[in-house]
Copies of this chain bind each other. A is one copy, B any other.
């Protein structure tokens, strides 16, 4: 392999526990893979997912699990064959006989990054041997629209139509509807009650998901897994608390939020003391339903939630596509200690079916380590993982590229399993 592995160097002083994590994962590799196989036998994995991770130096945690992943264009082209092969497995599982796929994308057709991801996803499905057409629910697209992309590819969007209990685009009735739209605005009427399988199911759209449900499943998964690899589960998960409905504009529920924020900060502080971590704990207060990072508040002292000014309250009351915040989750902020060229770097891991197919770093130019790197409008440079996440090498140091990426792949799969349990609970 002539590519160079870009593995950002940890600059934090607390590398001890992290190397412990990676060492434990390497030492238990066979057991880990056997454990995952058993888990997937109990609960099938989602069709695909991307998981945002934070590597704090002393812990590695997921912070977001997206079941309608974008960003496929950020993966190394060297690993697209892995995606193609994994899609073949995934398609066999969800719909053995399917050969005509209809991809339903996000409606934001002016986001050129998203469109490049969509073109990559389309190419992966085609290379896997499936016919693909893209049927959009964007009301602005009323006829076939071809968009030329900067990569030189072109993308053909067609308006989605419905006849009886089936959706189609002009002259093409698919066997499978593959959602790449996170349904932040809710379940689109046109996709309800179809006779064609819809994957992932409508019920797992962002508007229906609660972060607290995902992270409660994740907590169970991490506890089970931590016993297997003999680690403190805290090293693999963000602590969190939730506290029912909060209306920032009216100030309702803020007392409960204050109390829980205080408790969570205290829990984190205790863990920091246990591990000798000389940092100030931070928590994020955010909407429990999906928001793309809108309305996220960074809190270092519980009192801050009491002292919001008007502008801050307004910001906390808005989220993507206008959902009003009601349920609120308070989550441990896991700092990013990874740096690429001195900029904070957050790993994002991609999975198709049960397989880790690649990932990239979001490299941020300006923000500090504790801030939410996935905030709206945030610019980042993607840096593709240069090595796969499935070729650990026990002969090398625990933080050598393949071993670091293996650790990421393991933690991301824990989040994938939590999402699988979320899906299974939908019935």
Interface residues of A (CB under 8 A from B): 1-3, 29-30, 32-34, 36-37, 41, 76-82, 84-86, 88-89, 92, 96, 99, 126-131, 153, 355, 388, 390-392, 395
Contact = CB atoms under 8 A, between A and B. Distances in A.
A2 B79 CA distance: 13
Given A1-B3, A88-B355, A391 B30 contact: no
A96 B127 CA distance: 28
Given A79-B81, A80-B391, A81-B79, A37 B3 contact: no
A2 B4 CA distance: 9
A375 B135 CA distance: 55
B37 A131 contact: no
Contacts of A37: 92, 99, 129
Given A30-B126, A37-B99, A84-B388, 13 more contacts: A3-B78, A29-B129, A30-B99, A30-B131, A32-B129, A33-B129, A33-B130, A34-B99, A37-B129, A41-B96, A85-B85, A85-B86, A89-B89
Given A2-B2, A2-B3, A92-B37, A81 B128 contact: no
7 contacts: A1-B77, A33-B130, A80-B391, A81-B391, A85-B390, A88-B355, A89-B89
3 A-B pairs with least C-beta separation: A33-B129, A81-B388, A1-B78
Contacts of A36: 129
A392 B127 contact: yes
A1 B77 CA distance: 6
Given A33-B128, A99-B34, A81 B82 contact: yes
Contacts of A34: 99, 129
Nearest to A78: B1
A99 B88 CA distance: 24
Contacts of A92: 37
A390 B1 contact: no
B1 A76 contact: yes
Contacts of A126: 29-30
A30 B78 CA distance: 22
A46 B366 CA distance: 53
A300 B176 CA distance: 55
Contact of A390 (B96, B127, B153): B127
Contacts of A77: 1
Contacts of A131: 30
A101 to B, nearest CB: 10
Contacts of A41: 96
A391 B77 CA distance: 10
A337 to B, nearest CB: 27
